[in-house]
């Protein structure tokens, strides 16, 4: 299964459905199921350490990847339009039993047999 590492608390916001757009500086042609893994280190200056770290936490459907638009600012809770930002549109969140995963940069593969859906 394709996987993506995201720092906490943002990975947890995806798990709870609060975050439906992931902003990246790079694009992908991949669409479909995507395993969200929390990074081993939380985002600096946040309370990200109170959530699972270094673990797979949910599966989402990556439905679209496109350049950021001004209307995306509200969904991303920002007033700043990232002119080079790429929006990854996420849907259909499905939690999984947290399991330790060593994250990597970009998309990476995780053996499906490691994942237990809740």
pLDDT tens digit sequence for 43-59: 887 877 788 899 999 99
Tell me how far apart the alpha carbons of residues 66 and 85 are, in angstroms, rounded to a whole number.
Answer: 9
Sign, CA dihedral 31-37-40-46, equals positive
Residue 47 is predicted with a pLDDT of 77
| Residue 72 scores a pLDDT above 80 | no
Domain boundaries 2-114, corresponding CATH code? 2.30.130.30
Q: In percent, how much of the chain has pLDDT > 70?
A: 90
3-state secondary structure of 40: coil
Residue 69 has pLDDT above 70, yes or no: yes
């Amino acid at each position: 299964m394709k996987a993506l590492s995201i720092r906490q608390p943002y990975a947890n916001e995806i798990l709870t459905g609060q975050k439906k757009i992931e902003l990246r500086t790079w694009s992908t042609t991949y669409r479909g199921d995507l395993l969200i893994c929390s990074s081993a280190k939380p985002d600096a200056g946040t309370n990200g350490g109170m959530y699972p770290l270094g673990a797979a936490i949910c599966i989402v459907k990556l439905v679209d990847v496109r350049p950021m638009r001004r209307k995306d600012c509200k969904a991303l809770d920002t007033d700043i339009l990232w002119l080079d930002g790429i929006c990854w549109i996420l849907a259909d969140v499905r939690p999984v039993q947290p399991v330790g995963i060593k994250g990597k940069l970009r998309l990476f593969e995780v053996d499906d047999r490691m994942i237990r859906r809740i």
